[in-house]
Structure 1
């Protein structure tokens, strides 16, 4: 996608502090610029888990989790790097080339499948969710939220966002 084309979807920062979850929207630029997303998440101060959930154009999702030693990323479909800058940037950061020969019915996740393992979502389960190609990215992210325990918070925020855009 070129910089002129608007990217739809959502960018949400998720924080778990003292056993409670909080979801907040991030600026829309975080959907198209990985550096913007990482910088915004790093500014989110918390003693607990902080990560971002990004639904980009209902095509793929990205999970970004900054840590003191760098950043963990999970891109649900590396083929998205052929059309979206944020996906290409994610693969660059992961030092992975985009696929050259791929099937539209198959997804090619790249990155840390264990990115949320410490908060209740093992890599194998995340792989199953990503493999559900009949689901849209927002539905997959809602499944992730359900499994980790912040589905109510995410649902309320998405409902609020939907009512604003309608």
Structure 2
């Protein structure tokens, strides 16, 4: 995927939809180790989870996610809020990550976004594959 997917939700959706796969397609987007998005395109519409809604104050992709989710949150409310998730906690439940487990991972606010995504990968059984992809990206 191109670097543009880290700044544009619509670009992420488009690139994910263009992937050919026999199974479920979803993207785990780590934005500056500050927050992450889970993006899962489907025929009925894209399912989303934003790990930290307060990131919308500083990141356009987070603001775009809140808009897509129809989250009616005033910027003033975000200014004073502790980090909180917004979106579909069940986004990956049918493929191995129960809502309760994802909720526990999101509650670990002392972890960086990449560490939370690593936990998701371990829970879903693809931690080694994710590590291999990340190693290739760092070269």
State the TM-score bracket (shorter-chain normalisation). Answer: over 0.9
List alignment gaps of at least 5 residues for structure 1.
Answer: 1-25
Match of 1:97 in 2: 72
List alignment gaps of at least 5 residues for structure 2.
Answer: none
Whole-angstrom distance in 2 between the partners of 1:154 and 1:61: 15
Residue 123 of structure 2 is aligned to residue 147 of structure 1: yes
Match of 2:137 in 1: 161
Match of 2:103 in 1: 127
Structure 1 length normalisation: TM-score? 0.79
Give the match's secondary structure for 2:41.
strand
In terms of fraction of residues, the more strand-rich structure is 1
In terms of fraction of residues, the more helix-rich structure is 2
Match of 1:31 in 2: 6
Whole-angstrom distance in 1 between the partners of 2:36 and 2:47: 14
How far the C-alpha of 1:97 sits from its partner, in A, is 2.9
Give the match's secondary structure for 1:49.
coil
How far the C-alpha of 1:107 sits from its partner, in A, is 2.2
Residue 37 of structure 2 is aligned to residue 62 of structure 1: yes
**CA-atom RMSD in angstroms:** 1.1
Contact 1:107 1:130 (C-alpha < 8 Å) held by counterparts: no
Contact 1:75 1:109 (C-alpha < 8 Å) held by counterparts: yes
Aligned residues: 136
Structure 2 length normalisation: TM-score? 0.93
Q: Structure 1 stretches (4+) deviating beyond 6 angstroms?
A: none
How far the C-alpha of 1:89 sits from its partner, in A, is 0.5
